[in-house]
Amino acid sequence: MNDQTLKSWPYQEARKLVNRFTSKPAGPVRFQTGFGPSGLPHIGTFAEVARTTWVRRALEFLQGWSTQLIAFSDDMDGLRKVPLNLPNRDMLDENLGKPLCNVPDPFGCCSSYSDHMNNKLKEFLGAYGFDYNFKSAQDAYNSGDFDEGLLLLLENVERVRDIILPTIGEEKREQWSPFFPICSECGRIYSTRVTAYNPKDGSINYTCENTDKLPGCGNEETAPVTGGRVKVGWKVDWALRWYAYDIAYEMYGKDLIESAKLSARIVKLMGKKPPEGFFYELFLDEEGHKISKSVGRGITVDAWLQYAPLESLLHFLFLNPRKARRIYWQVIPKSVDDYLENLKNYNQLETAKKPDSPVWHIFADEKDIPEYNVSINFSMINNLIQGLGTVNKEVIIGYLEKYDPAAEGYRGIIDDLVEKAVNYYKDFVLPHKKNVSPSPDQIEILQELRERVAAYEGEIEEEMQSIPFQVARSRDISPKKVFQTFYEVVMGQEKGPRFGSFMSLLGKEKMLELLDNALS
């Protein structure tokens, strides 16, 4: 295959990895994603693993190379603040500054705070079939995975400082250190300050003292940089992982571009090549704020799955990773429709072009891609539910199969869509549904609309679509006013479906019933 014919972004990223190597790698090409277990995994975590998996799969498809994904949890990071959405906040407040792996589990079910979050991450990734190797900072530091790199950093500590110091405020430069000792007395990591470096015996001297945010215990001692007694700060930690595990590829959010550049300089100093990188734009909530684990802002994967299929979320994540995306309830219907449209078109593609389709990427195996050759989408189902005013699945499916008899052959997909559309209607449409009392002008518009619907005897959607325009011409008003009247008075909403499609879906008798109810 001429791989240059495949243009989607995972192949573009995979080619960067091909160019990284002069020959086929002896071992697996390693990819990494990072997780900060200060809060529960959210959609950003899911997106990073999914997107990295797509690049990994693209490389395997192009080259046939072995690959491996490491999902790394920085569970030795200190607890900097207490997340707003967690229980036992007083207990957590008492443990501020301690490594997350040494903080008790606020939920009371696991051995530590980070153990709880790490288990959730593994459940989260496992539930969606991701293939990965889990590693934690606690295990990496304690097992010796990082020993070689830690000693190398200690030998080159002044050169590391030369890289970092110009990027921080002058008031912090004198005391800045790549190493964060864990105090053997009070257990805190952010109240310790390095006072001397001893590269000959692989140790540092430190003191545990008061800071503006944390109390220190006054302990002073010498500690080895190995054996889990010390961790390194964020930018250095990233370079340390790349060095220890020979990471070839890592994604990161746009807010970490500068951190990636500094980490790349550090890993070069350590004697290895930095991984290929790809930055993505951040997810935003409805108000344009960055989604946050600490305050529970942003939609969760589990919440999305109550209202839409998993594949629609993956499709949403696949598109435009370099574009900031707002992710909230109102984007779900269009996201499902976009996925269904690509799924419907997939089997019409030439064989050579199929691997470029978003559908090919979001399914782990091409054999798992279902056929979907029907004119029904999620917005149509939502409109039908609103028009019928029922949440009875069998009634809804009956209307859909009458509208398009081919729907019967895709009952599994249709059933799932209807179930999720019903949930969406109950939670996001019905609470805001408010039918406007019609004005005298609107009553006249609806009366004429009803007369023309009653007089129509055909079954052609475009002819049905012309009915509101006929009303507008006869009354010398804008079509917009006719549609607005129909949506606000009949459907109880500001916007609505295409009139002709809606009438075809409901049928003439049900449309007349809706108009009669609005006029009564």
- For the domain that residue 457 is a member of, what is the CATH number? 1.10.10.350
Q: Quick one: average pLDDT of 261-272?
A: 98
Instruction: Please provide the average confidence, as pLDDT, over all residues in the chain.
Output: 94
Query: What CA–CA distance (Å, rounded) separates 7 from 353?
Result: 10
The band of 285, judged by pLDDT with boundaries at 50, 70 and 90, is confident
Same domain, residue pair 405 and 478: no
Q: Are 150 and 58 in a shared domain?
A: yes
Q: Where are the beta strands (DSSP E) in 84-198?
A: 133-136, 179-181, 192-198
Instruction: Tally the domains of the chain.
Output: 3
Residues 306 and 326 reside in one and the same domain:
yes
Residue 505 in tokens: 């879906």
**Are both 131 and 35 inside the same structural domain?**
yes
Domain span at residue 352 reads 301-431
Domain of residue 177, CATH code:
3.40.50.620
User: The whole model's pTM is what?
Assistant: 0.91
Q: Could you give the angle at which helices 411-424 and 393-403 cross, rounded to 10 degrees?
A: 120
Residues 31, 103, single domain; the answer is yes
| The pLDDT value given to residue 433 | 84
pLDDT, tens only, 26-66? 999 999 999 999 888 888 899 999 999 999 999 999 999 99
Domain assignment present for residue 291? The answer is: no
Please tell me the distance from the alpha carbon of residue 520 to that of residue 446, in angstroms, as a whole number. Answer: 11
Distance CA 122, CA 519 (A): 56
For residue 226, tell me if it sits in a domain. Answer: yes
Residue 350 is classified by DSSP as -
- Do 326 and 425 sit in the same domain of this protein? yes
Residue 297 pLDDT level (bands cut at 50, 70, 90): low
Domain contains 307: yes
316-321 own/partner pairs: CB under 8 Å, 24+ apart: 317/46, 317/47, 317/50, 317/51, 318/50, 318/51, 318/54, 318/358, 318/361, 318/362, 319/358, 321/9, 321/51, 321/278, 321/280, 321/281
**Is residue 440 located within the same domain as residue 501?**
yes
Statement to judge: residues 109 and 143 lie in one domain: yes
pLDDT at residue 197, as a whole number: 98
Task: Kindly state whether residues 422 and 455 are assigned to the same domain.
Answer: no
Among the candidates 431, 454, 482, a domain finishes at 431
Q: What is the mean pLDDT of residues 394-404?
A: 94
Task: Give tens-digit pLDDT for 131-175.
Answer: 999 999 999 999 999 999 999 999 999 999 999 999 999 999 999
Domain boundary among 252, 283, 314: 283
Domain boundary among 365, 399, 431: 431
Residue 135 sits in the same domain as residue 246: yes
CB 505 within 8 A of CB 398: no
pLDDT at 358 over 70: yes
On whether residue 98 sits in a domain, the answer given is: yes
Query: Is 295 among the domain residues?
Result: no
pLDDT of 41:
85
Same domain, 426 and 452: no
The pLDDT tens digits of the residues spanning 445-504 come to 999 999 999 999 999 999 999 999 999 999 999 999 999 999 999 998 888 899 999 999
What pLDDT is recorded for position 35? 94
Domain shared by 491 and 423, yes or no: no
Quick check: 283 and 43 in contact, CB under 8 A?
Answer: yes
Range with lowest mean pLDDT among 16-25, 88-97, 486-495:
486-495
Tell me whether residue 294 is in a domain: no
